[in-house]
């Protein structure tokens, strides 16, 4: 049956003929041959997985770096140095060690500062760390960080800080800082010898890296 006939039957003055009734009955029988599909009252499943609650998410712990602290008293001459040079921040102890034969050998002209002797490892700026951390410049003796060393006589010496990496016979990687430049002159001027215990202090003046070399403590005042 057509939509046109359905509309015409509903208009006044029009009625179904015997043929129309027969066609309508035939169509009704055809529709009864197909089973009706039951509609489900359940809502369609949600395929998207909802995120887990925040309380069940793994928490990443932030790495906290701790530096070794020391109770070593700042030598009197370094406290006086801070005042005389108008140093803003307090100089801090960087390393302690006994000098060995290589440290006082004028041909080698360097002070070795093994990483294990460091009291702190935060004394370099980011740019300085990049320079010393570049594997392409390690051990070649040409690139380093400019610095200045002050001895107990308040004399300043131009220095260069470098990084040295070597592998021991057992295969262990050993890393050290090397302080070179005028180091042999420092050894000669202060009469340093193999076995002398030294402490190396660090500070900055106008952003420039300084070291203060202490080997006699408060037992001797070289400025008196």
The pLDDT value given to residue 220: 67
The pLDDT value given to residue 68: 39
The position carrying tokens 């039951």 is 38
The pLDDT value given to residue 167: 86
Backbone CA torsion sign across 130, 133, 134, 138: positive
What's the pTM? 0.65
The pLDDT value given to residue 165: 85
The pLDDT value given to residue 36: 56
Q: How far is it, in rounded angstroms, from Cα 111 to Cα 144?
A: 14
Per run of 10 residues, the mean pLDDT along the chain (length 224 residues) is: 51 60 65 55 56 53 38 86 95 96 96 94 91 66 86 95 88 91 96 95 96 82 63
C-alpha to C-alpha distances, 27 to 15, 19, 30, 175, nearest whole angstrom: 18, 12, 5, 95
């Amino acid at each position: 049956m057509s939509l046109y006939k359905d509309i015409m039957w509903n208009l006044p003055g029009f009625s179904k003929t015997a043929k129309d009734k027969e066609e309508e009955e035939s169509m009704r029988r055809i529709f009864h041959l197909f089973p009706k599909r039951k509609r489900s009252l359940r809502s369609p499943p949600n395929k998207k997985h909802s995120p887990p609650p925040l309380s069940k998410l793994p928490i990443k712990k932030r790495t906290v770096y701790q530096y070794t602290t020391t109770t070593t008293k700042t030598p009197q001459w370094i406290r006086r140095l801070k005042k005389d040079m108008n140093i803003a921040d307090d100089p801090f102890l960087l390393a302690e060690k006994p000098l060995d034969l290589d440290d006082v050998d004028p041909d080698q002209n360097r002070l070795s500062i093994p990483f294990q002797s460091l009291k702190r490892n935060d004394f370099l700026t980011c740019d300085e760390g990049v320079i010393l951390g570049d594997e392409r410049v390690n051990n070649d003796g040409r690139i380093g960080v400019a610095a200045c060393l002050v001895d107990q006589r308040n004399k300043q010496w131009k220095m260069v800080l470098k990084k040295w990496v070597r592998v021991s016979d057992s295969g262990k990687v050993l890393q050290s800082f090397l302080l070179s430049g005028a180091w042999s002159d420092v050894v000669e001027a202060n009469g340093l010898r193999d076995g002398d215990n030294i402490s190396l202090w660090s500070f900055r003046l106008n952003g420039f890296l300084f070291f203060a070399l202490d080997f006699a403590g408060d037992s001797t005042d070289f400025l008196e």
